Amino acid sequence: MPYVTVGIENDAAIDIHYEDHGSGHPIVLIHGYPLNGNSWERQERELLANGYRVITYDRRGFGRSSQPTVGYDYDTFASDLKALIEHVDLSDVVLAGFSMGSGEVIRYLAAYGSERVRKAVLLGTIPPFVLKTDDNPEGVDGKIFEDLKAAIANDRYAFFEGFLNNFYNVDVLGGTRISDRAWQASFNVAVGSSPFATYACVDTWLTDFRADLTKVDVPVLVMHGTADRILPFESTAARLPALIADCTLVPVEDGPHNIGWTFPDEVNTALLTFLSEAK
């Protein structure tokens, strides 16, 4: 399996696992919490069929990547992404991030620029800033995140059950857009993630991306479910067209957080259209 080494903890290498398939224009797919690169399967299949080269990877702490107890911040995540892009020597690449992965995309563009990047895609986006503060009244009350951390520390397995129920809006979409077996597969991936990363990433969600967004100079497609219970649409995606110079917003009506799995036709159609546009 291919890996790129991105750091060291004590004497152990921190390795990022990635997959690289197909040919043509490259697109890097960056997964959300608490899944892994395989969670993009419904997009990867269509992208490969339409002649794109598809690179997926597992964030540190998740999937088949190393599980260190350091580096759970967006500067490090963006550095990991940069190491992968340079290792595979990608240019004219599209960066696509879901949920936590949307933060990697924005921080990478803000920190390293768009020399190697032609477009960006954000699904279930975490930018611009999810924490409610005096200068960010649209955000979410901080107590919610403290309660999440307490639930993880108390019993992360029980936490994942409730989290994934809201991740897929199972009470509404269960049995139609999300099967019991697909839900179970996500649960299995989630519980295999690093216990340390599971907890540490909650604070990472509170990163303020507002200054980063002003530096984004490539076309950006944003897709977000209007019924997202994890990252509410009005607090996140609805605000981005006013903050990104070239931003196309596609609301997915009644979509939950993971629209890539539950609404693949809508997501794939918008994604392929965006990728094919000349700009």
What's the CA gap between 173 and 177, in Å, rounded?
5
H/E stretch holding 225: strand 220-225
> Of 66, 99, 186, 235, which one is the catalytic site residue?
99
What's the CA gap between 248 and 242, in Å, rounded?
11
Q: What are the start-end ranges of the H helices in the chain?
A: 41-49, 74-88, 100-112, 142-167, 170-173, 180-191, 195-204, 210-213, 259-262, 264-276
What's the CA gap between 254 and 209, in Å, rounded?
26
Confirm whether 228 is a catalytic residue: yes
CA atoms 240, 242, 247, 248: torsion sign: positive
User: Phi and psi of 92, rounded to 5°?
Assistant: 55, 40
Q: What is the dihedral of CA 167, 245, 140, 203, to 10 degrees?
A: 80
> Of 39, 66, 228, 235, which one is the catalytic site residue?
228
Confirm whether 224 is a catalytic residue: no
> Of 17, 31, 224, 257, which one is the catalytic site residue?
257
Confirm whether 23 is a catalytic residue: no
Query: Left, alpha or beta for 105 (phi > 0: left; psi -120 to 50: alpha)?
Result: alpha
What's the CA gap between 59 and 30, in Å, rounded?
8
Residue 58 · residue 37 · CB < 8 Å: yes
**Catalytic residue set:** 99, 228, 257
